[in-house]
Amino acid sequence: MSQEIVPADKDLRRKFLFVLIFSVIAILFVVPYFNDYMQQIKQISSPDLAFRKSMFLFKITLGLVFLILAGLGTYSASIARKVLKSGQFPPPGMRVIRDTTLRTGAQAKMAAISLITLSCVLVIFALFFLCWPYAFEKTILKKKGSNEKMYAFLWKEVGPNEGLENSDAFRGFFRSHLLLGHGSGERGKGKSSF
């Protein structure tokens, strides 16, 4: 028994190729501006301002990734719903960019399950890319705030007239928190200039 074939829609194929080519050209056009912006950030003398500008670019970039992945995930879920409702893949009225074998029954159900799985994976990744920059920024700022509090505490303990950078308390803090990380032990002793 010959399988039924859903013929490719040539107009849809042309549109797909146009969008693909346009996307590649847009990326190639944007990359030099992205690199220029990164070079400008490197020239900034203020670390706080450079960090804010870097995070802004990071959030914009991953925000675009979120929109693309969320859109693809939603589209996949929509197709899966139509496949389950109609019992065939591709569902009735769906245009395809290449000749596609029509699947029915168990094969259509498997296609729908695959689309649902793909949709879930895409949405999870989309949410990760949306939330991760904010979690990263919060972690960095929290660590920075913790270090600043410790620095202020040491300044208060040692006193401004004794020279914080030359104090034993500051040397210990610098060695354990800034150079070697927490719990670094004896490795850094005698190797720091402090």
Tens of pLDDT, residues 103-149: 999 999 999 999 999 999 999 999 999 999 888 888 887 777 666 66
Query: Given this model, what pLDDT does residue 52 score?
Result: 86
Query: Given this model, what pLDDT does residue 117 score?
Result: 96
- Whether residue 139 is contained in a domain is answered as no
Among the listed residues 56, 63, 64, 2, the one whose alpha carbon sits nearest the alpha carbon of residue 27:
64
Query: Given this model, what pLDDT does residue 147 score?
Result: 62
Indicate if the pLDDT at residue 194 is higher than 50: no
- Whether residue 120 is contained in a domain is answered as yes
- Whether residue 70 is contained in a domain is answered as yes
Indicate if the pLDDT at residue 157 is higher than 60: no
- Residue 117's domain comprises 5-133
State the total domains in the chain.
1
Q: Mean pLDDT, the chain, as a whole number?
A: 80
- Cis amide bond preceding 133, omega within 30: no
The identity of residue 169, as a single letter, is: A
Query: Given this model, what pLDDT does residue 169 score?
Result: 54
Query: Given this model, what pLDDT does residue 188 score?
Result: 43
Query: Given this model, what pLDDT does residue 189 score?
Result: 45
- Whether residue 30 is contained in a domain is answered as yes
- In this prediction, residue 182 has a pLDDT band, given cuts at 50, 70 and 90, of very low
- Whether residue 189 is contained in a domain is answered as no
Among the listed residues 153, 150, 139, the one whose alpha carbon sits nearest the alpha carbon of residue 177:
150
- Whether residue 22 is contained in a domain is answered as yes
Per residue, the 3-state secondary structure of the chain, as one string, reads: CCCCEECCCHHHHHHHHHHHHHHHHHHHHHHHHHHHHHHHHHHCCCHHHHHHHHHHHHHHHHHHHHHHHHHHHHHHHHHHHHHHHHCEECCCCCCCCCCEECEECHHHHHHHHHHHHHHHHHHHHHHHHHHHHHHHHHHHHHHHHHHHHHHHHHHHHHCCCCCHHHCHHHHHHHHHHHHCCCCCCCCCCCCCCC
- Whether residue 110 is contained in a domain is answered as yes
- In this prediction, residue 41 has a pLDDT band, given cuts at 50, 70 and 90, of confident
Indicate if the pLDDT at residue 78 is higher than 60: yes
- Whether residue 159 is contained in a domain is answered as no
- In this prediction, residue 187 has a pLDDT band, given cuts at 50, 70 and 90, of very low
d(CA 125, CA 148): 34
Query: Given this model, what pLDDT does residue 136 score?
Result: 87
